[in-house]
Structures are given as C-alpha cells and as structure tokens.
A and B are shown apart, each in its own frame.
Chain A
Amino acid sequence: MFTLRRWWDRHRLQIILASLALGSAAFLRQTEGAVLYEVYKLVAFPFQPNLERKQALENAQVQELQQRLTELESQNQQLRSLVGYVAEAKKSQITAPVVGRSADHWWQHLILGRGTQDGVQPGSIVMAPGGLVGRVIAVTPNTSRVLLLSDPSSRVGATVSRSRNMGYVRGQTSNRAIMEFFDKVPDVRQGDVITTSSLSKLFPVGLPIGRVQSINLNKSPAPEAVIELSTPISFLEWAVVYPHKPSVQTVPSNPGQSSEKAGGSVPAQSEPIEPQL
C-alpha cells in the first residue's frame, strides 16, 4: 500500500497529464475533429480566395455560353412538360471557397469554407468549373469535408453520354479515374463524354465527370476505360455545393464494395449495382 502511495505521489502529474491528453484526443476523434476544422477555418480566413472578384472576372464568353445553356434548359423543360415529365424543383446553390486538403496522403479530401450554417448537409453534391467534384461526407458549422471523385474509395455510377453504356467510375488519386463497364463489349470511343448515370443513388443524373482517354476491352473481369476528369481537382480554389438527398436504396449494396468496408465515419461512395442491368 505504501509503495503504491509513493508511486502515485511520484507519477501523479504524468498520469493526469497523459490521461488528459488521451481524453482530448479521443474526444477529437469521436467528434471527427470538428473543433480543429472550425479553428482551421478561422486561421485560414485571411488566405481565402475572394469570391466576388472571381465571379466578376468570368469572361464574356462563359456568360454567353451560360445564357445559351439557360435557353436550352428552358426549352428542354418545355419539351419535357409536353411529354409529361415531372421536373425536379430548381435547387439552390452555395458557393464555397476551398480552404484545405486532406490531413493525410491516403485520402483525397477537400475542406470547404461553408458548413451547416450556410445550409450544407452531408450528401450534398459538389461541383466546380468543369463538372462533378465529389460529395460532402462531414460538416461542421462553418466547414465541410468533401470526398473527391479521385479518391480510390469513391464509386460513382456513370454512363457514356453518346451510347448510354453503363458502368461505374472509381478514383485513382490523380486527375485520372477508371471506368468499369457492365457490358462485355461496350460501345465507347476515345473522347466520349462520361456523365453520372440514372442508376446512381448518391448523385443526380447527368452531371459531367470527364472524357475517355484510353480503353482496355481485354481487361478482366470487366472492360475498363481511363477517364480524364474534366475538373482541375489539384488546383481548385472554389466550388459550388448543391443540396442533394440520396434516394432511398431499394437494392442492398454489393458486398464486394459495401460501405462498411471503407469503414467508420466515411461512407464510401459505393453504388448499389443492380444485377439485372
């Protein structure tokens, strides 16, 4: 008893400090570093790109193209209403500065400077000039963490926009991604545009992902194509967040790439793949 007491007297301070350190570390782990990202936002505030100026600098050609697109979209809406298509409501958008990247090298994340206070929710879609970037996986009041398309754990249901051949795109940590096709002999050519498919439960249909760079039809088990992502992910300065509710999953996800495997707090972007398609 006496030796125990003496030992405690000698090591009391160390033990208390060590348990404090471990306790706060465990707290940060459980809250997914929310406090840290909030502080980070404050510290990074002076370095954030100026959004107003950025938008003012958009040149006339882009504006012209946007106006033409609006015109075409409204025509499309009218035609859809003629054939009785129920259109989705126009969604609000949140412009957000990119304030950071992943805190280690194995994950491809973006830290955005907008959070729940601006209406960002987990599952929101993130777009940038060029097309789809990824989706929000964690939010704090003023920041949000985005899992990029280029992350190897990301899986997005995709389709070849010309021939409507289906497949899924998985990230490759660089500006390239791999698309695996469901068909044995897909109709795909170099330069084809790849967009999100209607089978995707996590993303709305028809968002541009990239272009086909090269094709390998002999790849087993499924033919593959290398996709060049159309967004310059490595030097993004701002992105646009669109709130999106992932549709209810009717088919249980494929066990080979289930989200449990990617684990923990980060739900993998596994797309449930319907066997009959």
Chain B
Amino acid sequence: MRNESLFEQLQDRPVARVVVNCAVTVLSVLLCLMISPTRLPGMEVAGIGPNWLLIWVVAWSVKRSMLQGALAGLALGLIQDGMTAHTPTHVISLMLVGILTARLRKERYLREDFISVALIAFAMAVMAETVMAIQYSIQGDRSLVEIWTYHQLIALGSAVLSSLWAPVIYFPLNRWWQQMSLLEQQS
C-alpha cells in the first residue's frame, strides 16, 4: 500500500519524480561499487567474484537505446578505472557491453526475462574479460601465455557468477524503472 501511495504522490510532481528516480539509480550504482571489493563467502570461486558493474550496465541497457547504454558504460568504466588502475581501461569493455546489450533485440529470441538476462550477463562477462585480455596483450608487459590462461579462468568464473547474480540487480531495478516510465506516460 505504501508503495502505491508513493507512486501516486510522485505522479503529480514531475520534479520530485526525477529526483527520486535519480536517487534510486545512483544508490543502486553505489551498492554495486560497494560490493565489488568484497569477496563474500558463496559469492566467489577461486578468488573470483561476480562483475557487479557489468551486471548493472546490462540491467540498465536491456530496455534502453545504444547511446544510453554507451554512456552508462563510459561512466561506470571511468569509476572502475579510478578504483583499480587507469590502464588498461575498463571504459572500452563496459561501453561495448552497454551498446551490445541495447542492440540485442532479445524479445525476438527469448520471452522469459529471468533466463535472457542471465544469458546476456554470461555472454557480456566473457566479452568484457576478452576485451581486457586483448588490451593486456597489446600493452605487452605480461607474457601472452600467462594472460590467456588467466583469461580462461576469469572469463568463465566471472561469467558464471555474474549470470547467477544478475537477476538480483536486474529485477528490482527494472521494476522500478518500468513504474517510473509508466508514471511518465500517464502524466
């Protein structure tokens, strides 16, 4: 009931709606940023955890345009660069994730949201780690054999875990954004 009254209140106030919507979005990003340095038991395999920022970018881009996906990838990539190291950059991989996720017309292939989001997260995690591995290969301060054997481990581990945890981020956020766009259309 409380939720509905909140939505009703927001319906009449476009400014408050934008502010609340932004706050929820920013808070969800912050939550993802705060979980990334942790390795909670049950969330890691061989020291590798889910790629939370990638999950967020996928959740954001699934029902948005390519430009919006790219912008989200750019912003989160910059932040992740700040939290780890500037080179090789995470901007390229996360922007690609945003663009490709938005480009996929997933309704054509799969109806079920739960499975499609998990599948997208799996494929995108593999792709993102591959982009990172290519950057390391070009940079050339690690040996190629080391990079690509490690890449196999990371790509598989982070893809499996990211796809398992993707619905946790995707469902609440997606529901919220759907409600918001509904309100937008009504007013």
Contacts and interface: CB of A to CB of B under 8 A. Distances in A.
A28 B132 CA distance: 21
Interface in B43-89: 47-49, 51, 71-72, 74-88
A33 B82 contact: yes
**Chain B interface size, under 10 / 10 to 19 / 20 to 34 / 35 or more:** 35 or more
A25 interface: yes
B82 A30 contact: yes
A104 B90 contact: yes
B146 interface: yes
A161 interface: no
A29 B87 contact: no
B104 interface: no
Nearest to A14: B68
A104 B36 contact: yes
A43 interface: yes
Nearest to B89: A264
Contacts of A22: 71, 74-75, 78
Contacts of A28: 78-79, 82-83
A69 interface: no
A31 interface: yes
B62 to A, nearest CB: 18
A32 B74 contact: no
B38 A100 contact: yes
Interface in A10-38: 13, 17-18, 21-22, 24-26, 28-33, 36-37
A152 interface: yes
Interface of B: 18, 22, 30, 33-34, 36-39, 47-49, 51, 71-72, 74-88, 90, 129, 132, 136, 139-142, 146, 150, 154, 157-158
12 contacts: A28-B83, A29-B78, A36-B83, A39-B30, A40-B33, A103-B33, A103-B84, A104-B80, A105-B157, A106-B136, A261-B140, A262-B141
Closest 4 A/B residue pairs (Cβ): A264-B86, A100-B37, A263-B87, A25-B75
Interface of A: 13, 17-18, 21-22, 24-26, 28-33, 36-37, 39-40, 43-44, 99-107, 109, 111, 152-153, 172-173, 234, 257, 261-266, 268
